[in-house]
Every structure is written in structure tokens, then in C-alpha cells.
Amino acid sequence: MFLYLFQNNPSAGIAFLLGLVIGITVHEASHATSAYLLGDDTAYRDGRVTLNPASHLDVLGSLMLLMAGFGWGKPTPVMPSKLRGGVFGPVAVALAGPVSNLLIVAVCGALFLLPTFQSGYLAIVVVMTAFTNALLFVFNLIPIPPLDGSKILFPFLPRALDGFVDFMNQYGPMILFGLIIVSFVTNLPIFNYLLAPITPILSAFGLPPISF
């Protein structure tokens, strides 16, 4: 996606990449900060309570940003046993990442109300940053491990589904990667459906939709 966008519109491509770097950095820093506030200093001691992108970007995930238009940061280390709040502690930490991306979309929506950000390159940066963070918000809420959606949903599933949860925790990353490969190789609109909420989210904050 990034390479295609960069070839057709370099300015939008750079803004797209900038939005993803901002989104991933804030996302992972939010996980780390929320864990620290809830009593787990593991990420803090690892230097992850920071907005320095170098502390959060993953090499392979960054390469995927360039090649496929999506990627991931370094997983934030969390020790659930150290968190306060029982089952809600890990859920709150998992939820902090996607919520931070949605807040960035809200900030972009507020900026887009100002005339300065409604035209020129500033408008492109604001709209693309909103789009990439809406993408991160929706993508991370897909309930397939290791995405945050699974960490938010699985703790509340009935014990009868423990076998399913164990299976997904073991094979979820492979299932997710398989869906990505199948989507690219066959052009099946798998992620078109999974990421469909992006456009309504942008519209809700007064931002124009993005199409490629």
C-alpha cells in the first residue's frame, strides 16, 4: 500500500508513513504507561514509557510498513500478575493502545476544523494521520492473537471455551499471517470487510474518507 501510494502521490505516501509511525509509537507507549500506572513497571524499566519511536518500532514490522502499508511495533512487555484490578488490569492495558489511536483521530478531526489544516500539505498530513490511526484502531481490535482485541475479549469468554482460547493463543499469529497472505495473493476482500469501520469512524470526526 505504501509503495503504491508513494509512487502515485509521494506527499500522501510520506504522510501515510508518518501517521503510522506516530500511531504505533503512541499505541505502544500507551500500553507501557497504562501498565506502569496499574503497578507493572516491566515496560518502564525497559524504557518503553516514552514517545521516542526508536524505543517502539520493530525492524520487521517497519519493513512491513514499507512493503504492505501496515506493520507493528515491538510488543510491550507486561506482567499481568503485577497489575492491579484483577482481570480488568490486563484488559485496560490492552485497550489503552487502540483507544490512543482513536484519540489521535479525534485530534486530527479537531485540527481539520481549522482553516490552516483544510488545504495544502497540512491537510494531507492531518487526513492521512487520521486514516492510519483509524486503521490501527480497527485492526488491533480484531480478536485474533496477538492483536489487542483478543486480550480484551478472551478474558470474558466462558470457561467452556478455554480450549478455543488456548488454540487461538497458540495458532492465532499464524492464522492472522495466513489471512494477510491469502488476502494479498488472491485479492479476496478479507480485510476490506474487517477494516470496513474505518470510513464511518473518519466521517464521525468530520474527516473525508480515504480510497486507494
Determine contact, residues 79/43, Cβ cutoff 8 Å: no
Which residue do the cell numbers 486503521 mark? 135
| H helices present in 38-58, as ranges | 42-45
Q: What angle separates helix 10-37 from helix 88-111, to the nearest 10 degrees?
A: 140
Catalytic residue among 5, 21, 27, 28: 28
211: Cβ–Cβ under 8 A, 6 or more apart, which residues?
Answer: none
> Is 28 tagged catalytic?
yes
Is the previous residue joined to 98 through a cis bond, with omega within 30 degrees of 0?
A: no
| Residue located via cell numbers 470487510 | 193
Left (φ > 0), alpha (ψ -120 to 50) or beta: where does 69 sit?
Answer: left
Q: Considering only CA atoms, which of 22, 34, 60, 49 is closest in space to residue 152?
A: 34
> Residue 120, by phi and psi: left (phi above 0), alpha (psi -120 to 50) or beta?
left
Catalytic positions, written as ranges: 28
